[in-house]
Chains A and B, each alone.
Chain A
């Protein structure tokens, strides 16, 4: 079997893919009980009889999670079912406290949607959404000893803190027609979902913490021959690669799976319909459970819960809270702000878009706002290892800081000192400028005295200047700035030096 590249595979075959994205909702409490929904607590401290599945305990639906799911569904253009049900998905596993998962099966709350995703070159691709349904997460197993897998482990530990955390699972329809751009489209789709859930404020959208997780299905079918309709060619057998948890990994996983399947098909071997595990280190997949021997989940309607029946009025009210599509918003802001593609991408990647927008809203010019958030503040956040948004400075304060610079009250250097004071909790930029005495010295007599002092102490420099070597004035400017602790306007100082030296600038 010959090893193929993704590009070679795409020349030979037509790919069909589908993605299941799990979004962890950031509700205060879990899906069916009152336990805190928080990442990173001590194991088994956020549990109760309900999420531990103790005998007799019963679930109660978290209304806030329903609201989040409906808002997400609406953002994906889904219809919202007037009456939908929860169902039990039955399987035995130690991290599944009740040995069934409460999910939705034949009646998901959100169904039949579509989402436009914008590729880097601006091409728009429409993804069909089959459904978005609510379910609860399972706990987390940790296997000790051996290789860290369940096989060969000495023992295993189960943490049920994550058990019962609310999830929305978004399932696409089979996506055709992306051809060689399949990997890009898949990545852009997951990125768009991540941006939407963040814009909605229903999830922190952090893929690295597992709050947005993706399973990627891929199959290959022969390319249509001349005159044949590609849509009429039947789908091939698909693999489902589980837990592909970064945008880059989604692209890589598709590259790998397409090449692997194409290799098999060209060698006349069948593709097995199965789940596969993704290995980030090697960029490859290995087989999991094959679908032929897959469990029968024995779904049936959850008898402990009533149907979800959101009123039309409520759904319409929620529709009014749906933010603009992230790609459209970005295109609009890029135009309005006059940012380059790079500026925009960097701001998005740094999670700075909302902060810049709020700073602009507070009166700063877009480029100035970008300069602060992507410069000094990004460096500070990086040094402190915190998110940009959690720095103790508000967009309004950044705008105020910039307005002080624009008015000439402070220069850039002083502004950085003022910002330092703001971050240290000393008050607003104006307050810090006052309390630290950071205003630019604009009194000419004070500057003239300082210049005279500097010239007197460096007569050789004065001689050079008078000789016509005007650039030598820099040394005197430096001395004056030092004497005034940076609070002088360097341009004005230079004018005074030349004036005193009797030279025309």
Chain B
């Protein structure tokens, strides 16, 4: 292959096994690509060329020595800067952690190392994963490779953009209200939020502990499945981690590609359409439904009336938990310190300088919502809504095996367009948030480009908790049908980026 960066992770793994390419060549190709385009895209906060190449060399040597290697050994990967990485800076997109090198690895970091995947670097994100555009990063925004004036989604804009810009074949994301799926949608890539507890959160810097979930980012459904199986599984270091085997995502993706969907019931969520949804987004969604029907699936409409309150509940639960999770950034043990006369004032000054506006906004909101006298009205009521949403899902999954919707109401907007309007920004996540509130898995894959602006649209598939494999089956089936229509993958339709010399 002329340019290995255009291959899928599965193809790279197969090619290394067949001796057609080495991990060093693959890794170097991606490092070269990063050097060529990341000045414009700014997907990465930190690139670890040396570390990545060292891992690649070890894998090549091991392969040459005939060692048995894990499936994705030698395939390079980008890691969202929310995951702590020993010996590599970790900032979560915040100035308050500038220069901090964690003394330990997150469980998922360890699993990537054990899978012998070279880590290319750490990707940009909205500060502490608060945002839908990556504009809230303390280190400047990431740009959408489809149109550099547009947002790549958020909070995981860096991971998604690195895939769309061919800087990495795989990336790690985290999804609290859509931070994997929404960026996937607006960059024409694939993103998966696993069942809550399916992937260890140990070492992922917490935003909202009851909503956060790490997951795979990729360009194909099969690649996402391969990475999901590397990341997933029980972890004794995370008390909320599920004590059950990793779902067979790869097998499910292959089944989806090879078999029809006879007997599969697909539920369209009535509430996630209509007002606020861009015409081209809805058009591509409808076309995808037709393709699924053509493969034998039965499409039904389901109603989730409590979704109306999901956004409001989310924006009480998330800030409440975040206000507590972010308290530890107090200058005492790590990170920024703005020295003042007393410890209280030092803490205050450090947080005033180290945190950005969106983080402060949510800390204030959460502190208020948890305060004595307000707790029941805010946090308490939000938890009740959460229960209602879980009931809505339970009832909907009686009628359908998976539920579907557009991933985002619109294609990516322009940088700066919604910065001064938090509510408009928050509306981006209206379709993705319910899955986090209920702890169920969700997958987003490209459904095309909107005719009116030529920008990517996303198709979201939701499954009951523990049934992650179902999403991969349906997702792979749709991906194949779409590729047959387009004569290739959507990312091939993206405009070529200018390459720096």
A residues engaging B (CB < 8 A)? 49, 52-61, 88, 90, 92, 94, 97-100, 156, 158, 296, 298-300, 303-306
A100 partner residues in chain B, CB cutoff 8 A: 324, 327
A298-B371, A303-B209 known; A57-B330 Cβ under 8 A: no
- What is the predominant secondary structure among interface residues of chain A facing chain B? loop
> What are the 8 tightest A-B residue pairs by CB atom distance, in nearest-first order?
A99-B327, A298-B370, A303-B209, A303-B210, A56-B203, A55-B205, A56-B84, A53-B328
B126 within 8 A of A: no
Contact partner, A90, options B238, B324, B334, Cβ 8 Å: B324
Say yes or no: A306 contacts B205, CB within 8 Å. Answer: no
Contact partner, A58, options B202, B210, B343, Cβ 8 Å: B202
Contact partner, A55, options B90, B239, B321, B379, Cβ 8 Å: B90
A98 partner residues in chain B, CB cutoff 8 A: 327-328
Say yes or no: B328 contacts A99, CB within 8 Å. Answer: yes
In the bound complex, what is the Cα–Cα distance between A128 and B202 (angstroms)?
Answer: 41
Contact partner, B204, options A56, A61, A90, Cβ 8 Å: A56
Say yes or no: B332 contacts A56, CB within 8 Å. Answer: no
In the bound complex, what is the Cα–Cα distance between A500 and B345 (angstroms)?
Answer: 95
A166: min CB distance to chain B, Å:
15
In the bound complex, what is the Cα–Cα distance between A55 and B354 (angstroms)?
Answer: 15
B237 within 8 A of A: yes
Say yes or no: A300 contacts B239, CB within 8 Å. Answer: no
A60-B236, A304-B209 known; A55-B102 Cβ under 8 A: yes
Say yes or no: B240 contacts A304, CB within 8 Å. Answer: yes
A92-B330, A298-B324 known; A56-B106 Cβ under 8 A: yes
B201 within 8 A of A: yes
A151's closest neighbor in chain B, by CB? B342
A299 partner residues in chain B, CB cutoff 8 A: 370, 375
Contact partner, A49, options B104, B240, B330, B371, Cβ 8 Å: B104
- Most chain A beta-carbon contacts within 10 A, residue among B84, B237, B379: B237
In the bound complex, what is the Cα–Cα distance between A151 and B485 (angstroms)?
Answer: 74
A305 partner residues in chain B, CB cutoff 8 A: 239-240
A59 partner residues in chain B, CB cutoff 8 A: 239
In the bound complex, what is the Cα–Cα distance between A61 and B237 (angstroms)?
Answer: 10
B248 within 8 A of A: no
B83 partner residues in chain A, CB cutoff 8 A: 56
26 A/B residue pairs, CB under 8 Å, sorted by A: A52-B333, A53-B328, A54-B103, A54-B334, A55-B84, A55-B92, A55-B102, A55-B328, A55-B329, A56-B84, A56-B202, A56-B204, A57-B104, A58-B237, A58-B239, A60-B238, A60-B239, A90-B370, A92-B327, A94-B332, A99-B328, A156-B343, A296-B372, A298-B367, A299-B375, A306-B239
In the bound complex, what is the Cα–Cα distance between A303 and B92 (angstroms)?
Answer: 20
B372 partner residues in chain A, CB cutoff 8 A: 296, 298
In the bound complex, what is the Cα–Cα distance between A94 and B327 (angstroms)?
Answer: 11
Say yes or no: A306 contacts B240, CB within 8 Å. Answer: yes
- Most chain B beta-carbon contacts within 10 A, residue among A56, A61, A303: A56
B118: min CB distance to chain A, Å:
22
In the bound complex, what is the Cα–Cα distance between A236 and B74 (angstroms)?
Answer: 73
B320 within 8 A of A: yes
Contact partner, A54, options B321, B333, B370, Cβ 8 Å: B333
B184 within 8 A of A: no
Which B199-224 residues sit within 8 Å CB-CB of chain A?
Answer: 201-206, 208-210
B208 partner residues in chain A, CB cutoff 8 A: 303
Say yes or no: B370 contacts A300, CB within 8 Å. Answer: yes
B210 partner residues in chain A, CB cutoff 8 A: 303
A141: min CB distance to chain B, Å:
9
B344 within 8 A of A: yes
In the bound complex, what is the Cα–Cα distance between A300 and B319 (angstroms)?
Answer: 12
Which B361-379 residues sit within 8 Å CB-CB of chain A?
Answer: 367, 370-372, 375, 379
A310: min CB distance to chain B, Å:
16
B residues engaging A (CB < 8 A)? 83-84, 90, 92, 97, 100, 102-104, 106, 201-206, 208-210, 236-240, 320-321, 323-324, 327-330, 332-334, 343-344, 347, 367, 370-372, 375, 379
Say yes or no: A304 contacts B328, CB within 8 Å. Answer: no
Say yes or no: A94 contacts B324, CB within 8 Å. Answer: no
A306 partner residues in chain B, CB cutoff 8 A: 239-240
In the bound complex, what is the Cα–Cα distance between A208 and B1 (angstroms)?
Answer: 74
- What is the predominant secondary structure among interface residues of chain B facing chain A? loop
B367's closest neighbor in chain A, by CB? A298
In the bound complex, what is the Cα–Cα distance between A299 and B106 (angstroms)?
Answer: 28
In the bound complex, what is the Cα–Cα distance between A11 and B398 (angstroms)?
Answer: 72
A141's closest neighbor in chain B, by CB? B343
Say yes or no: A97 contacts B237, CB within 8 Å. Answer: no
In the bound complex, what is the Cα–Cα distance between A296 and B92 (angstroms)?
Answer: 28
A53-B328, A92-B347 known; A300-B320 Cβ under 8 A: yes
Say yes or no: B324 contacts A53, CB within 8 Å. Answer: no
Say yes or no: B209 contacts A54, CB within 8 Å. Answer: no
- Most chain A beta-carbon contacts within 10 A, residue among B97, B323, B327, B334: B327
In the bound complex, what is the Cα–Cα distance between A443 and B103 (angstroms)?
Answer: 77
A63: min CB distance to chain B, Å:
11
B205 partner residues in chain A, CB cutoff 8 A: 55-56
In the bound complex, what is the Cα–Cα distance between A298 and B379 (angstroms)?
Answer: 11
Say yes or no: A54 contacts B327, CB within 8 Å. Answer: no
A88's closest neighbor in chain B, by CB? B324
B103 partner residues in chain A, CB cutoff 8 A: 49, 54
In the bound complex, what is the Cα–Cα distance between A88 and B209 (angstroms)?
Answer: 12
In the bound complex, what is the Cα–Cα distance between A92 and B324 (angstroms)?
Answer: 10
A48's closest neighbor in chain B, by CB? B104
In the bound complex, what is the Cα–Cα distance between A306 and B241 (angstroms)?
Answer: 10
Q: A92-B344, A304-B239 are in contact. List 18 more A-B contacts (CB 8 A).
A: A52-B333, A55-B100, A56-B203, A57-B203, A58-B238, A58-B239, A59-B239, A60-B239, A90-B324, A92-B347, A94-B330, A94-B332, A94-B343, A97-B333, A99-B327, A299-B370, A303-B209, A304-B209
In the bound complex, what is the Cα–Cα distance between A98 and B206 (angstroms)?
Answer: 12
In the bound complex, what is the Cα–Cα distance between A49 and B329 (angstroms)?
Answer: 14
A303 partner residues in chain B, CB cutoff 8 A: 208-210, 240, 321
In the bound complex, what is the Cα–Cα distance between A156 and B343 (angstroms)?
Answer: 9
A304-B209, A305-B239 known; A56-B330 Cβ under 8 A: no
B87: min CB distance to chain A, Å:
15
In the bound complex, what is the Cα–Cα distance between A306 and B240 (angstroms)?
Answer: 6
Say yes or no: A53 contacts B238, CB within 8 Å. Answer: no
A99: min CB distance to chain B, Å:
3
In the bound complex, what is the Cα–Cα distance between A59 and B325 (angstroms)?
Answer: 13
A90 partner residues in chain B, CB cutoff 8 A: 323-324, 327, 370
A60 partner residues in chain B, CB cutoff 8 A: 236-239
A99 partner residues in chain B, CB cutoff 8 A: 327-328, 330
Contact partner, B328, options A97, A156, A158, Cβ 8 Å: A97
In the bound complex, what is the Cα–Cα distance between A267 and B334 (angstroms)?
Answer: 52
In the bound complex, what is the Cα–Cα distance between A220 and B209 (angstroms)?
Answer: 45
Say yes or no: B328 contacts A58, CB within 8 Å. Answer: no
In the bound complex, what is the Cα–Cα distance between A299 and B374 (angstroms)?
Answer: 12
B204 partner residues in chain A, CB cutoff 8 A: 56
A297's closest neighbor in chain B, by CB? B372
B100: min CB distance to chain A, Å:
8
- Most chain B beta-carbon contacts within 10 A, residue among A53, A58, A61, A158: A58
Say yes or no: A300 contacts B379, CB within 8 Å. Answer: yes
In the bound complex, what is the Cα–Cα distance between A442 and B454 (angstroms)?
Answer: 115
In the bound complex, what is the Cα–Cα distance between A49 and B238 (angstroms)?
Answer: 13
In the bound complex, what is the Cα–Cα distance between A97 and B327 (angstroms)?
Answer: 9
B26: min CB distance to chain A, Å:
29
B282: min CB distance to chain A, Å:
35
B326's closest neighbor in chain A, by CB? A99
- Most chain A beta-carbon contacts within 10 A, residue among B104, B238, B324: B324
A55 partner residues in chain B, CB cutoff 8 A: 84, 90, 92, 97, 100, 102, 205-206, 328-329, 334
